[in-house]
């Protein structure tokens, strides 16, 4: 994996564990020679991940909608900053520039990005690994919901391993490195659906 899209929040939670973890994720990826592709912001976890990677000498590519540039939240110290018209173009560019996806804590925008990466993998629009870093148990309920989707039958058995989960970045990267693409929906027969 040469570059990873990192999905995360632009908020700054009161508990410093989230900002500290984001900085360390950025620094660790840089030390491993893995470039960061992210939302291009300077605030919250977005800014922390970028600053952590940049401080460790890493490549950081931001992709940000013009409206957020106009709101003055763009990070101006990145390796590259791509300004796009909207969120759909942003997410497509994340996919085009990256070899995988890592979600760290965030809110609704982060969830939108995670679910789209999973949906696109399920459909066969990409075959890259989709990772979830469960910092301080932040995603415990989401992980339980993912399993419930499979138990109830809304997630096909061959797609249950699309979400790669770990509590540490090292373990997550190891699991993502071992990712084997699954049979996407676009290559299934109607009888398999």
pLDDT score at 187: 67
Every domain of the chain and the residues it spans: 3-192
Query: Tokens in use for 182?
Result: 């699954």
Q: Which class is domain 3-192? A: alpha beta
pLDDT score at 188: 62
No. of helices (H) and no. of strands (E), the chain = 7, 7
pTM of the full structure: 0.94
pLDDT at position 183 over 80: no
pLDDT score at 2: 97
What is the share, in percent, of the chain residues with pLDDT greater than 90?
Answer: 90
pLDDT at position 123 over 70: yes
Q: How far apart are CA 15 and CA 89, in angstroms?
A: 32
pLDDT at position 33 over 90: yes
Q: What is the mean pLDDT of residues 124-149?
A: 97
Q: Report yes or no: 128 and 121 within 8 Å, Cβ to Cβ.
A: yes
pLDDT score at 17: 98
What is the share, in percent, of the chain residues with pLDDT greater than 70?
Answer: 95
Closest Cα to residue 9, out of 163, 139, 149?
A: 139
144-153 tens-digit pLDDT? 999 999 999 9
pLDDT score at 114: 98
Q: Report yes or no: 144 and 100 within 8 Å, Cβ to Cβ.
A: no
pLDDT at position 109 over 70: yes
pLDDT score at 182: 83
């Amino acid at each position: 994996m040469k570059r990873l899209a990192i999905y995360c929040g632009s908020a700054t939670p009161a508990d410093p564990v989230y900002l500290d973890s984001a900085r360390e994720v950025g620094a660790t990826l840089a030390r491993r020679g893995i470039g960061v592709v992210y939302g291009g912001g300077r605030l919250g976890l977005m800014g922390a991940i970028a600053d952590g990677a940049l401080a460790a000498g890493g490549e950081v590519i931001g992709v940000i909608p013009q409206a957020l540039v106009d709101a003055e939240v763009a990070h101006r110290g990145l390796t590259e900053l791509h300004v796009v018209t909207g969120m759909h173009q942003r997410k497509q560019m994340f996919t085009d520039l990256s070899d995988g996806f890592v979600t760290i804590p965030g809110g609704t925008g982060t969830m939108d990005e995670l679910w789209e990466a999973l949906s696109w993998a399920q459909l066969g629009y990409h075959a890259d690994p989709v990772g979830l870093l469960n910092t301080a148990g932040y995603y415990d309920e989401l992980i339980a919901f993912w399993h419930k989707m499979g138990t109830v039958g809304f997630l096909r058995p061959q797609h249950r391993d699309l979400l790669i989960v770990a509590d540490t970045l090292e373990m997550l990267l190891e699991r993502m490195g071992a990712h084997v693409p699954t049979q996407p929906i676009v290559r299934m027969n109607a009888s398999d659906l």
